Chain A
Amino acid sequence: MDHPLLSVQDLTVQFRTRAGTITAVDRVSFDLAEGETLAILGETGSGKSVTAQAVMGLVPRPAGQVTGGRIIYDGTDLLTRPPSEARRLNGTELAMVFQDPLSSLNPVLRVGAQIGELFRRRRGASRAEARRKAIELMDRVGIPAAARRVDDYPHQFSGGMRQRVMIAMALALQPRLLIADEPTTALDVTVQAQIMALLADLKAEHRMAMILISHDLGVVAGVADRAMLMYAGRVVETGELREVYETTAHPYTRGLMASIPELDGPRERLQPIPGAPPDLMRLPSGCPFRPRCAYATDICASQPPTLAAVPTRPDSHRAACHHAEEVLADVVAG
């Protein structure tokens, strides 16, 4: 990976609230190669969505602010450019699909107009041309009777169809990087699979790089090349998807894996991770996962763990845990 498409280095995003400043994203680094798919995984509030917002320049201001790090896209640091200039990459180079397609589509504009405006505003296309392209795209993402539905409003579509509209919009100008933030969370289970299949399909067709954000390790399994797990704004484990899933080296990842039901395994009780997601206002000393962790010892309270190579695949697999080897041994033992 000598020239990654996107290189995020030590990204830090903070939010000022009435009660104090919280660090939503804490020195997060990752690279993404052209055509590669990275899954960012974690519970609500782990900082995965804010990381994506930072890449798109969409961190809600003035409360939120990128306070450190670099976001290097195709060789230039987006954070050093004025926001209006960085935003010009959105839509053409970077695109995003959001979690809730209903609230993410403008309720008072026809879907055709919302897709078409990318061609009209960004490419100077005529009204008729934009409409024709919108129909084409709607057809491509699997919306039946696209030529008729192009004049409908978002509320007239089902959840799955709305997400297809969002995807059509994101793909309109053939971006090189697509960020999908929990694209299937708001949808029915049967529709989830269809949308994931569509995303995988389009990714292959356009050779796009993709960042897939999810709290569900199962959803991303078939699509992602690599996985990055976040907890309390920090990266706790990262590596190729297979490594992370099969030779898990962080207790948090292990906990998330244990909360996925298995159909063909023995019928056991699902094991949720004990405790609640951390309060970013009052993080414990040392390792933020410590209070919920079965492996925690004294060192976890005194020293925050840093990302270190996992011995089985030291070149790509890394975890931030003082007890990584114990976790790994337990996982391998089953």
Chain B
Amino acid sequence: MTAYLIRRTLFAVFVLWGAVTIVFLVLRLVPGDPAQLILGSDATQEEIAQLRDQMGLDRPLPVQYGKYLSDVVNLDFGDSYRYHRDAMDLVTERFPATVQLAVVATVIALLLGISLGVVAALRVNRLTDRLVSVFALLSQSMPSFWIGIVFILVFARQLHLLASGGKGGLDRMILPGITLALPFIAILIRLTRSGLLDVVHENYIQTARAKGLSERVVILRHAVRNALIPIVTVTGIEFGKLLGGAVIIETVFAWPGVGRLLIDSISARDYNVVQAAILMIAGGFVLINLVVDILYGYLDPRIRLGR
């Protein structure tokens, strides 16, 4: 177990280094000069050169990269050019909002996706199964921004049931949460349904039936947990994506998450904020993957106990 943890930690460090490096390079390879953007279009060449010197942008790339890495190791992520504040502070301020939304969307998706998938598998090829399939198809094929706008129009403007946006309590998270959850629900329905239909042909399901257990117990106790393993993987990946910030949805629902911060910072070439945000998101991903691995072991003792 200790060796395993050490291996995982080294791997995590490697992944974070990779993410940081790629972002560093990409930001500097795309056209657009932060000094120019900060000073505006009427700045003189001299002023721009002076600012570039101040920001260290005129030094060779390897030098900039070396300084950046040593700063990151010391947990110094630099200041935002736009806000003149610590870049990581800006990100961590926004992060809870993104996490909240991601959690709400994931919980909605898991509850609806798995239960609809189970129902579809139990009623395979019958009307219920078909209806669930149609729902999955619609959820996956309608673009989120459009669903988001329709939700706002219907539930907030017309019915006045839920708030259309801004940060706040759970009631403000329901609409963006469902909007984000829909494509995720579609994936979970398909995975649960096909996973269960596979598992149902396993010999141990026949054994459970030979024991005279009710079909409900056979499915819920003997089949679902075995079908859950691929679902855990996908949930990890999808949750990780949501942590990256739901850029469009955060914009539609005026949700102050990391996604919007990231997009705004990229447009403004606010290098330090982009780098800090990506580091945070990559860290989240690494952490989720670790949780997923641990969950595997919990779900499948063959992995936990080694074999």
- On A, residues with C-beta under 8 Å from B are 56-58, 60, 84, 87-92, 95-96, 98, 100, 103-109, 117-118, 121-122, 153, 155-156, 166, 169-170
User: Contacts A106-B226, A153-B305 known; A91 to B299 CB distance under 8 Å?
Assistant: no
Q: What class of interface size applies to chain B in its complex with A? A: 20 to 34
CA gap between A98 and B301 in the complex, in Å: 23
User: Contacts A107-B300, A153-B301 known; A95 to B203 CB distance under 8 Å?
Assistant: no
Contact assessment for A92 and B212 in the assembled complex, using a CB-CB cutoff below 8 Å: yes
Contact assessment for B217 and A104 in the assembled complex, using a CB-CB cutoff below 8 Å: no
Contact assessment for A117 and B301 in the assembled complex, using a CB-CB cutoff below 8 Å: no
CB closest residue in chain A, given B298: A108
Q: B210 interface residue, CB < 8 Å from A?
A: yes
CA gap between A58 and B205 in the complex, in Å: 10
CA gap between A169 and B206 in the complex, in Å: 13
CA gap between A153 and B203 in the complex, in Å: 16
Cβ proximity bits B152-171 to A, threshold 8 Å, 1 near / 0 not: 00000000000000000000
CB closest residue in chain A, given B301: A153
Contact assessment for A121 and B204 in the assembled complex, using a CB-CB cutoff below 8 Å: no
The 8 Å CB contact of B209, one of A90, A117, A118, A170, is: A90
21 interchain pairs, CB-CB under 8 A: A58-B206, A87-B209, A90-B209, A91-B212, A103-B204, A104-B203, A104-B204, A105-B207, A106-B222, A107-B300, A108-B226, A108-B301, A109-B221, A109-B222, A118-B211, A121-B213, A122-B211, A122-B212, A153-B302, A155-B302, A156-B305
Contact assessment for B212 and A98 in the assembled complex, using a CB-CB cutoff below 8 Å: no
Q: Whole-angstrom distance from the CB of A49 to the nearest CB of chain B?
A: 11
- On B, residues with C-beta under 8 Å from A are 201-204, 206-215, 217, 221-222, 225-226, 299-302, 305, 307
CA gap between A89 and B213 in the complex, in Å: 10
CB closest residue in chain A, given B229: A108
Q: Whole-angstrom distance from the CB of A134 to the nearest CB of chain B?
A: 13
CA gap between A96 and B204 in the complex, in Å: 12
Contact assessment for B300 and A58 in the assembled complex, using a CB-CB cutoff below 8 Å: no
Contacts of B300 in A (CB 8 A): 107-108
Which 9 pairs from chain A and chain B are nearest by CB? A91-B212, A90-B212, A103-B203, A153-B301, A106-B204, A96-B210, A91-B211, A104-B203, A104-B207
CA gap between A156 and B226 in the complex, in Å: 18
Contacts of A95 in B (CB 8 A): 210-211
Contact assessment for A108 and B299 in the assembled complex, using a CB-CB cutoff below 8 Å: yes
